[in-house]
Amino acid sequence: MTIRVLDPTSESKVVEPELAPRLDSLAGKTVGFISNGKEGTDGFFRHLERLLKERLQVANVVWKTKSNYSAPAEQDIIDTAREWDIAITGLGD
């Protein structure tokens, strides 16, 4: 009897993404929140927004919510996120 072993890994080469440079400070920066739209996310992001503004002097917080919690963010959200200094994604139930 012959046993055949299959390799489920992809044959394509994996390209490691280049990390964005680290910010020295969040003071005066724009932070974007991308929510999955579930109930628990709202309270967490509101608390986080207050802390970012009070403690780290973040200038602006932009809120975006995906239309489907289990799908990737829509292209318009991705395009808008390019204008932010950092993006924070969150989920909640």
pLDDT by position in tens, the chain (length 93): 899 988 787 777 778 889 888 999 999 999 999 999 888 899 999 999 999 999 999 999 999 999 998 899 999 999 999 999 999 998 777
H runs (alpha helix) in the chain: 39-56, 75-81
Q: Which residues lie closer than 8 Å to 37 by C-beta, 6 or more apart?
A: 65, 66, 67, 69
Would you kindly state where each structural domain of the chain is located, as residue ranges? 26-62
Q: How many helices (H) and strands (E) does the chain have?
A: 2, 3
Q: Measured in whole angstroms, how far is the alpha carbon of residue 71 from the centre of its chain?
A: 13
Residue 45: other Cβ atoms inside 10 A: 20
